[in-house]
Amino acid sequence: MLFICRLSIVPGLVLAIVAPVAYGARPLVTDDASLVDAKACQLESWIQKNRGSTEYWALPACNFTGNLELTFGGSRFSDAEATQTANVTFQGKTLFKPLKPNDWGIGFVAGHAGRVDGAADSQWYAYVPASFSFHDDRFQLDINAGWMRDSQDRRDHLTWGIAAETLIAKRISLVAEVFNQGEDKPSFQIGFRYSLVPDRVQVDGTYGKSLGNDNNGRWLSLGVRLLSVPFLP
């Protein structure tokens, strides 16, 4: 999948806008070198609770051609003062080499994330996801390297992420990652992924923190991922 996760109010708003630019299979922000099945769709949705704010996400994605996954979705951000901000994300993803068991894969992703009201704080971005499979997919390493253009400060930023996924039981995986999407300090999160219905319904949760910050830089997230059978023409 594309991909993609997830604070004080200001850092939380930044993360709310840019976090989906690199979402792999929930709950990771770091993307992997895989796609939704050809002619199929998925929905990733989650709630992220930050210190003083809450984020609500919904990111539908479909693979229309077999090697082009398109995501179009958004989020709503609400802080302690009841200020609400709606964001929208569009992203395309393709693979140069699909990931296979005990092998590696690589792809390319580009997209845009911004506010529905047209405010200046939006981002264009692109990155390369690479994945490495070990022990028949029981352990996977994902690495991202990319670029983001912030329209508010009119600056270019380097983005990166490193994630590990470990299958500890038939339906349970542990995940951990560290990533930076243009902020001064990187962030990390750890969590789990549980398959209620293999290859169709997944639930997950994470604990995350922005490195270098106090308790204001922490968050919790709970999410669900739904995958369809191929049905597109």
Does residue 5 surpass a pLDDT of 50?
Answer: no
Does residue 195 surpass a pLDDT of 70?
Answer: yes
Q: Tell me the domain boundaries of the chain.
A: 9-227
Of 109, 83, 74, which is closest to residue 95 (Cα–Cα)? 109
Digit-coded pLDDT (tens) for 84-104? 889 999 999 999 999 999 999
The per-residue pLDDT for 215 is 67
Q: Which residues, in sequence order, are bridge partners of residue 79?
A: 53
Q: Please provide the average confidence, as pLDDT, over all residues in the chain.
A: 88
Distances (CA, A) of 176 to 164, 199, 207: 5, 21, 10
The per-residue pLDDT for 7 is 33
User: Which pLDDT band holds residue 17 (cuts at 50, 70, 90)?
Assistant: very low
Give the torsion through C-alpha atoms of 213, 214, 216, 222, to 10 deg.
Answer: 80
Assign residue 229 a region (left: φ > 0; alpha: ψ between -120 and 50; beta: otherwise): beta
DSSP 139: E
Does residue 225 surpass a pLDDT of 80?
Answer: yes
Does residue 118 surpass a pLDDT of 60?
Answer: yes
Digit-coded pLDDT (tens) for 36-88? 999 999 999 999 999 889 999 999 999 999 999 999 999 999 987 767 889 99
Digit-coded pLDDT (tens) for 126-181? 999 999 999 999 999 999 999 999 887 788 999 999 999 999 999 999 999 999 98
The per-residue pLDDT for 79 is 86
The answer to whether domain 9-227 has CATH 3.20.20.220 is: no
Distances (CA, A) of 77 to 3, 74, 99, 179, 201: 21, 10, 34, 21, 25
Q: CA–CA separation, 176 vs 174, rounded Å?
A: 7
